């Protein structure tokens, strides 16, 4: 594509606006509202989120993962604990998440700390996965180099044969993380690129309860 054509790709964002007095007091309640609206809008993979990490030796990393749960404490996802993302988090647990709901002209950006989920939560979730996904968790040595696609398919078949006729246990090298947010920003596209950006910032209160402050930023 020629650069002139790329620079002409633009649209005006007109679907909504974001006002402080219409937003819910707790950011996870506001996220819940927007997430449900994204699901109702039939957005493809509304739980897809970009996960940004950094490590001492490799620098920054970015990939898309799937949100598998959320609650007041944060956002959950699962992965091979030997993967690059898991190793990055071990080096530096501060991460960022991005939910790109472009069809609604919205984004949610999270900054926080990734904490390992306990094994009971991991095992409970693993049991809900489709059997082929359970097999894949055993077969894929995530982030390791392989000679070709056939090596991966052979490993998959070997695991399938190994557990034929029986329940598949959670691999010891497979687990999950909960991203406990320190900031959550809600972004709504507006005409003239004067987008709305409202960020919730966590400020621990003296009453030992979390206190969230709302702030507006220039786009």
Tokens of 134: 């359970």
Provide the annotated active-site residues: 193
How far apart CA 23 and CA 213 sit, in angstroms, is 12
Considering only CA atoms, give the Rg of the chain: 20
Dihedral through CA 184, CA 189, CA 192, CA 193, nearest 10? 40
Contact criterion met (CB below 8 Å) for 126 and 69: no
Q: 3-class DSSP state for residue 112?
A: strand
Helices (H), the chain: 3-7, 27-40, 84-91, 119-126, 131-139, 149-162
Task: Name the one residue in this structure whose structure tokens are 């220039």.
Answer: 218
């Amino acid at each position: 594509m020629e650069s002139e054509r790329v620079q002409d790709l633009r649209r005006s964002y007109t679907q909504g606006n974001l006002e402080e007095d219409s937003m819910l007091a707790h950011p996870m309640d506001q996220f819940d509202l927007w997430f449900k609206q994204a699901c109702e809008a039939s957005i493809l993979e509304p739980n897809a989120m970009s996960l940004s990490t950094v490590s001492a030796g490799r620098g920054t990393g970015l990939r898309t993962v799937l949100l598998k749960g959320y609650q007041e404490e944060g956002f959950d996802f699962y992965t091979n604990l030997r993967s690059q993302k898991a190793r990055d988090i071990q080096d530096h647990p501060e991460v960022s998440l991005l939910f790109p709901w472009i069809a609604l002209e919205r984004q949610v950006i999270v900054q926080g700390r990734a904490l390992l989920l306990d094994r009971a939560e991991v095992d409970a979730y693993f049991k809900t996965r489709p059997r082929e996904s359970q097999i894949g968790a055993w077969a894929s040595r995530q982030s390791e180099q392989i000679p070709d696609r056939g090596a991966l398919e052979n490993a998959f078949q070997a695991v399938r044969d190994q557990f034929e006729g029986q329940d598949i246990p959670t691999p010891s090298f497979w687990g999950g993380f909960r991203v406990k947010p320190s900031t959550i920003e809600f972004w709504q596209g507006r005409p003239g690129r004067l987008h709305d950006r409202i960020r919730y910032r966590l400020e621990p209160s003296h009453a030992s309860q979390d206190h969230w402050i709302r702030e507006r930023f220039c786009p």
